[in-house]
Structure 1
Amino acid sequence: MATSCGYEFQLKHFAFADASASDFYVSQWFNSKILFVLYRAFMFLYCLIWSINTTIILVEAYPIYVAYLSNWAEWTLVVHFLLALLVAIYGLFSQSRDSTSTEVGCCPGNQCNNGDVRWFHHLTWVVLTATAGVNFIVTIIYWAFLSGISVASVPANVHQHIMNSVLMILDIFISRIPIRLFHFIYVSLYGLTYVLFTAILHGADVKSAFYTNLLDWESAPGISAGVCVGLIVVGSPIIHLVSFGFYHLRAFIARSGGCSSTSSENSGEDNSGFEMSHPKEDV
Structure 2
Amino acid sequence: MDVLSQVFRAEFQLKQLCFSTVVYDRVFFSHWRMPPVLVIIYKVLLTVYVDFWLIYTAIRYEDIDVSGGSGTFIPWPAWLTNWTYTLLALHLTMSTVAIVVYHVVRFSYNHSWLCTRAGSEHWSIMHEGINQREITGDSYSTDGTQGPVIVRTRCAPWYVVVLWILFDMATAAVPMVTLMFFIFLWPQMTHSGGIDNDNLQLHGLNSVCLIIDFFLSPVPVRLLHVIYPFIYGLAYLLFSAIYWSGDHNRVLYPGVLDWNAPGKTIGMVFLVLAVLCILQLIFFALHKLKMYIYYTLYSLDFYESIGD
Could you say which TM-score interval applies, normalised by the shorter chain? Answer: 0.7 to 0.9
List aligned pairs for 1:204-243, cutoff 5 A. Answer: 204-205=246-247, 208-218=250-260, 220-232=261-273, 234-243=274-283
Contact 2:54–2:86 (Cα < 8 Å) also in 1? yes
Contact 1:19-1:114 at 8 Å conserved across structures: no
- Letter of the 1:187 partner, please give it: P
> How many Å separate the matches in 2 of 1:260 and 1:57?
53
Structure 2 partner of 1:54: 57
What CA distance in whole angstroms lies between the structure 2 residues aligned with 1:165 and 1:178? 18
| 1:184 has 2:218 as partner | no
Distance 2:180 2:228 in 1: 19
CA distance in 2, matches of 1:223, 1:107: 42
Supply the distance in 1 between the matched residues of 2:157 and 2:300 (Cα, whole angstroms): 26
How much has 1:22 moved relative to structure 2? 2.0
**Are residue 37 (structure 1) and residue 58 (structure 2) matched?**
no
Q: Aligned partners of 2:24, 2:104: CA distance in 1, in Å?
A: 13
Q: What secondary structure does 2:283 align onto?
A: helix
Q: Say if 1:210 and 1:204 are closer, same or farther in 2 by CA, change over 3 A.
A: same
Alpha-carbon distance between aligned partners in 2 of 1:58 and 1:14, rounded to the nearest angstrom? 38
Q: What is the letter of the counterpart of residue 130 of structure 1?
A: M
Does the Cα contact within 8 Å between 2:31 and 2:126 map onto a contact in 1? no
What are structure 1's unaligned runs of at least 5 residues? 262-275
Matched, 1:164 2:185: no
For 1:207 and 1:20, the matched residues in 2 are separated by 50
Query: How much identity, in percent, do the aligned residues show?
Result: 25
Q: How many residues align?
A: 259
Following superposition, the deviation at residue 182 of structure 1 comes to 0.8
1:8 shift after superposition: 1.4
Kindly provide the amino acid, as one letter, of the partner of residue 253 in structure 1. I
- The AA in structure 2 aligned to 1:239 is L
Instruction: Point out where structure 2 has 5 or more consecutive residues left out of the alignment.
Output: 1-5, 66-73, 110-119, 131-147
Counterpart pick for 2:164 among 125, 140, 150 = 125
Which of residues 254, 261, 279 in structure 1 aligns to 2:294?
A: 254
Q: Equivalents in 1 of 2:9, 2:298: separation in Å?
A: 23
> For 1:259 and 1:88, how far apart are their aligned partners in 2?
26
Partner of 2:197: 155
Query: TM-score, normalised to structure 2's length?
Result: 0.75
- C-alpha RMSD of matched pairs (Å): 3.1
1:135 match: 174
Alignment equivalent of 2:125, drawn from 101, 104, 117: 104
Structure 1 residues 79, 150: closer, same or farther in 2, change over 3 A? Answer: farther
Aligned residue type for 1:87? A
Residues in 2 aligned to 1:153 and 1:55: alpha-carbon distance in whole angstroms: 18
State the Cα distance separating 1:101 from its structure 2 match.
9.0
Q: Quick one: distance in 1 between partners of 2:228 and 2:102?
A: 25
Instruction: Report the equivalent of 1:202.
Output: 244
2:125 partner letter: V
The alpha-carbon deviation at position 67 of structure 1 amounts to 2.0
Mapped partners of 1:85, 1:129: distance in 2: 16
The higher-RCO structure (CA 8 Å, 6+ apart) is 1
CA distance in structure 2 between the aligned counterparts of 1:19 and 1:185, rounded to whole angstroms: 19
With over 3 angstroms needed to count, the CA separation of the structure-2 counterparts of 1:153 and 1:52, relative to structure 1, is farther
Which protein is bigger by CA-based radius of gyration?
A: 2
| TM-score calculated relative to the size of structure 1 | 0.81
1:205–1:10 CA distance, 2 compared to 1 (3 A): same
Do the aligned partners of 2:20 and 2:155 also contact (CA within 8 Å) in 1? no
- What is the CA–CA distance in structure 2 between the aligned matches of 1:47 and 1:217, rounded to whole Å? 32
Contact 1:37 1:85 in 2 (8 A): yes
Residue aligned with 1:213, SS:
coil
